[in-house]
Structure 1
Amino acid sequence: MDDQHFYMIRGGVEGRERLRMVARVMRPGTLALIERAGVGAGLRCLDVGSGGGEVTFDLAAAVGPTGSVVGIDVDPVKVELAAADAEAAGVGNVEFRVADLVDGLGEAEYDVVYARFVLWTLSDPTSALRDMVRALRPGGRLFVEDIDFAASLCSPTSADFQRSVEVFLETARRMGVDANFGRRVPETVLAAGLVDVQTNIVQPGGLEGEAKVLHPLSFENIKAMVVHHDVATADEVDRIVDALYDLARDPTTYMLCPRIVQAYGDKR
């Protein structure tokens, strides 16, 4: 795996619970996007960066038994776990593969290509998106969701919350990736030559629930990279994590996840 595909947030078995929470929090917005984007029976889909397979399974339900979905991820542990889940659930129209964005996409093979929270983790997201477009057949549809991390919110304001956002963004910068890439999604999709582009924004949050817990959990899972890149000490990260969990438990504190920019468009 080259630097372009080195992920900032802990993966494997250790990161699986965070991914499951992400999937639960984001699912309503993603399901609405799948419906708006017109994913329907008989289509052949590719889920890029499929992780635990949660969206892969939702795509599989949308395309039905006459359609199919391939989920690809660079993490072999995630792929193995997702494949086991598919077998246990008896989902027969999905396939999971270990692959990256250079070798795993193919050309003109799919009716739909989807990626959630993938492009921001790459050093060259524009090139990766062009690869995704090449994987579409003419008339196929690409749709993506990605984060604008700086738009995360905590009210009343909290110095610890603000510091966590600063640390996250700086760690991403030192790793050569842009955690605010979501705000660039529309222009990047247009630059890739897609037409009939549609956009939307979702931002889960509230006074209670898993959307609040997701921020401290995600920050906890970047500790190794934060320390490795000398953005903060392990002790500071631990202190901030504790403070963030306290904020998540406080029913008077309102928190919003990073803004999520959604876009889809068609290949000529």
Structure 2
Amino acid sequence: MGTDYVHGYTDAETRRLTDQAQTLADLLHGGTQYESGSRVLEVGCGVGAQTVQLVTRSPGIELVAVDRSEESLTAAKARVAAVAPEARVEWHHGDLTDLPYEDASFDHLFVCFVLEHLAEPAQVLRDLARLIRPGGSITVIEGDHGSAFFHPRSDDAQALIEGLNVLQARVGGDALIGRRVQPLLVEAGYREVMAGPRTVYADETTPDLVDGFTRKTFIAMVESVRVDAIAAGLRTTDQWERGVRALERTAEPGGTFHYTFFKAIGLR
């Protein structure tokens, strides 16, 4: 059920994920704190950008972090060791659809920016449910590229975002999945599911967000598929350059950028 990671496993993507996690730490992780001694499973930990937030905001947890990329796990281990050397983390290389853990062996499950890359997210959520003890929780965070709007408005910039959405769909993912997290969790059998928006708005009065999110997270994410988008005939080189320049104008004085993430919590 896994898919190719549309953004690629590059140093630039590692930097983007790190910038994103640091810039949006309070926005995305606010309200998520696990009790000391609880056993938490993070599936799709990637390079550990969110892992660091989990172990520093919930000290004393026993975390199991899973990813299918050995290279990403190596980066995650180094990141956590540098920031929280006392953290108790078990690292597992493998696919989230084939995990070697017994039923009800975790108190909590954390899933961030993973479902968007899966062809059958509801089925994966159902399969993962067996790992959570009765009464335990699942937390899901996903973005929604359809929520990106900006000033100055630009058809060239919008076309780049649509091209990214198309590429993600071609490898089995859904770049608009944020709006679906609540019904997906209900469909998968979780109880008392509550979801809500976590919105980013950046303009010249919030320079940290302009730099950390508009430039280094969103525009960098779009730029990560430049080669594939042009090769697929979704944009010409000239069209791509016009679109990127238009996106960059939203990070300049007088520009604004808006994006919404969705965070949902359910019980087993």
User: Does the TM-score normalized on the shorter chain lie above 0.5?
Assistant: yes
1:45-103 CA distance string (max 9 Å, x none): 111111221322222234423x2111112222111011122233413312332222212
Q: Which amino acid aligns with 1:211?
A: F
Q: Please name the residue that 1:205 is paired with.
A: 201
CA contact (8 A) 2:45 2:65 kept: yes
How many Å separate the matches in 2 of 1:251 and 1:155? 11
Q: Give yes or no for the alignment of 1:140 onto 2:143.
A: no
Q: Give yes or no for the alignment of 1:20 onto 2:7.
A: no
CA contact (8 A) 1:120 1:177 kept: yes
Partner-residue secondary structure (3-state), 1:147:
strand
How many Å separate the matches in 2 of 1:155 and 1:247? 6
Q: Please name the residue that 1:256 is paired with.
A: 258
Match of 1:60 among 55, 61, 84: 55
Q: Give ranges in structure 2 of 5+ residues lacking alignment.
A: none
Partner-residue secondary structure (3-state), 1:152:
strand
Partner-residue secondary structure (3-state), 1:146:
strand
CA contact (8 A) 1:42 1:63 kept: no
CA deviation after TM superposition for structure 1 residue 138, in Å: 1.5
Distance 1:234 1:7, change over 3 A: farther
Partner-residue secondary structure (3-state), 1:265:
strand
CA contact (8 A) 1:115 1:144 kept: yes
Q: Which amino acid aligns with 2:258?
A: L
Q: Please name the residue that 1:158 is paired with.
A: 154
1:43-82 matched pairs, under 5 angstroms: 43-65=38-60, 67-82=61-76
CA contact (8 A) 1:40 1:62 kept: no
> Comparing 101-110 with 175-184, which one deviates more in the overlay?
101-110
CA deviation after TM superposition for structure 1 residue 225, in Å: 3.2
Q: TM-score, normalised by structure 2?
A: 0.88
CA contact (8 A) 1:205 1:211 kept: no
Distance 1:230 1:263, change over 3 A: same
CA contact (8 A) 1:12 1:75 kept: no
Q: Which amino acid aligns with 1:198?
A: M
Could you tell me the percent identity over the aligned residues?
A: 26
1:95-146 CA distance string (max 9 Å, x none): 3322222123633221111111110111111111112212211111001011
CA deviation after TM superposition for structure 1 residue 235, in Å: 4.6
Q: Please name the residue that 2:243 is paired with.
A: 240
How many Å separate the matches in 1 of 2:89 and 2:4? 26
Q: Which amino acid aligns with 2:256?
A: Y
CA deviation after TM superposition for structure 1 residue 20, in Å: 0.7
Q: Which amino acid aligns with 1:147?
A: G
CA deviation after TM superposition for structure 1 residue 196, in Å: 1.6
Q: Please name the residue that 1:96 is paired with.
A: 91
CA deviation after TM superposition for structure 1 residue 246, in Å: 3.5
Q: Give ranges in structure 1 of 5+ residues lacking alignment.
A: none
CA contact (8 A) 2:160 2:222 kept: yes
1:222-237 matched pairs, under 5 angstroms: 222-237=225-240
CA contact (8 A) 1:50 1:56 kept: yes
Q: Which amino acid aligns with 1:40?
A: E
Q: Please name the residue that 1:124 is paired with.
A: 120
Q: Which amino acid aligns with 2:121?
A: P
How many Å separate the matches in 1 of 2:195 and 2:100? 24
CA contact (8 A) 2:157 2:244 kept: no
Q: How many residues align?
A: 259
CA contact (8 A) 2:17 2:49 kept: no
Partner-residue secondary structure (3-state), 1:153:
strand
Match of 1:181 among 170, 174, 177: 177
Match of 1:87 among 63, 81, 84: 81
> Comparing 17-26 with 159-168, which one deviates more in the overlay?
159-168
CA deviation after TM superposition for structure 1 residue 228, in Å: 4.5
Match of 1:115 among 111, 117, 123: 111
How many Å separate the matches in 2 of 1:254 and 1:133? 40
Q: Which amino acid aligns with 1:75?
A: S
